[in-house]
Amino acid sequence: MSEMKLYEVFIRAKSGLNHRHVGSLHASDAEMALMNARDVYTRRKEGVSIWVVESCHITASNPEHEHEWFDPAEDKVYRHPTFYPLDKEVENM
């Protein structure tokens, strides 16, 4: 029997929230993945909506390159509000 495909599972805990990655599972197609995800990941009503995406469709950044990949943001402290001191009288801005 050929290997089943790997799917990543995303669940929305309640309306208004983002879908969040909860894990993965094997299935022969998307529809089966959805049913399996319901049975595996929402047995205690953990969600109101499920997304499944075949893992091979996810393009991920390389953890080994984490530093150089994200370092453009490292020296830009001025992107944060705390970079701009405010007088006490107007500090609630």
Partner 1 sequence: MYSQGLTDAKGGDEPAELLAEFQAKIDREEKIEPRDWMPEAYRKTLIRQMSQHAHSEIVGQLPEGNWVTRAPSLKRKMILLAKIQDEAGHGLYIYSATETLGVTRDQLNDELLTGKAKYSSIFNYPTLSWADIGAVGWLVDGAAIMNQVPLCRTSYGPYSRSMIRICKEESFHQRQGYEIMTVLARGSKEQKDMAQRALNRFWWPSLMMFGPSDKDSKHSEQSMKWKIKRFTNDELRQKFIDATVPQAEHLGLTVPDPELKWNEQTGHYDHGEIDWNEFVNVIKGNGPCNKERMQARIKAHEEGAWVREAAQQYHANKKSEAA
The Cα 55–Cα 10 span in angstroms is 12
Residue 79 CB partners (closer than 8 Å, separation 6+): 73
Using alpha carbons only, how large is the chain's radius of gyration in Å? 21
Stretch that binds partner 1, among 21-29, 52-60, 63-71, 81-89 (CB under 8 A): 81-89
Q: How far is the CB of 1 from partner 1 (least distance, A)?
A: 26
Q: Is 72 a residue that touches partner 1 (CB under 8 A)?
A: no
64 or 91, CB closer to partner 1? 91
The Cα 40–Cα 33 span in angstroms is 10
Which residues form the interface with partner 1 (CB under 8 A)? 12, 15-18, 49, 76, 78-81, 83-87, 89-90, 93
